[in-house]
Amino acid sequence: MGLLEGKRLLITGVLTEASIGFGVAALAQQEGAEIILTGAGNGMKHTEKSARKLPTEPVVLEFDVSDPSHIPALRTELEQRWGTLDGALHAIGFAPSVCLGGTFMDATWDDVAVALNISAYSLKALAEVVAPLMPNGGSIVGLDFDNTVSWPSYDWMGVAKSAFESTSRYLARYLGAQQIRVNLVAAGPIKTIAARSIPGFSKFEDVWDERAPLGWDVRNAPGVARACVALLSDWFPQTTGEVIHVDGGYHATGA
């Protein structure tokens, strides 16, 4: 039996085969899970295309985290299809271009508000969808990037990730009574569509592999998907509010 045998998971953020969410979705299916994907706006067609490349083609439902009406709509759809849910992956993030690339001082509150809403508050929005469908407990896992220091070009997305981490800790506190665990996986840099949209992302690539004790491949990091699947399984029953680093050890190594 696989780690996720019999589990039902909601997975967000699958755009292409290079998406971390795609790797998690594929491995989750291999480990026995039944999954549903979500997409939004113009990205829906990309999510649907990627869904067809998974071992078993899953249903794709619409979920725009910036639209409050989508929260009850998605919850109702999931309840009608499955009744209950065992886990969810948060792989959602966005910031206006002015929030990235060294223009930190140029971003207005309106710009930053978009980044915080979609990249941090959305974790709470996802929890609103899935927590009521987890009467027997469950697991929510989010994809993070280390934000204990400032990074070149990452700018307001780094601030959003700090809010994201804090949100996960508060969700862990308030959902713990329902035996719902909330954890994050802080991955090293991976060449996804989201990463390519960050000006200066290439600065991370060679440096990361040189400094990480275990090495790092920006094109292939299977450990990230494995960590997510492990946290979505029953193997970490008393771990919540945690950030698991899957970055080759970069975060623990000085220059």
Positions marked active-site: 154, 161
Contacts of 85 (CB under 8 A, 6+ apart): 8, 9, 10, 78, 130, 133, 134, 138
42 Cα distance to chain centroid = 19
| β pairing state of 34-39 and 87-90 | unpaired
Q: Rounded CA gap, 65 and 71, in Å?
A: 8
The Cα 227–Cα 184 span in angstroms is 10
DSSP H or E stretch at residue 143? strand 138-144
DSSP 55-79: SSPPEEEE--TT-TTHHHHHHHHHH
244 forms beta bridges with: 185
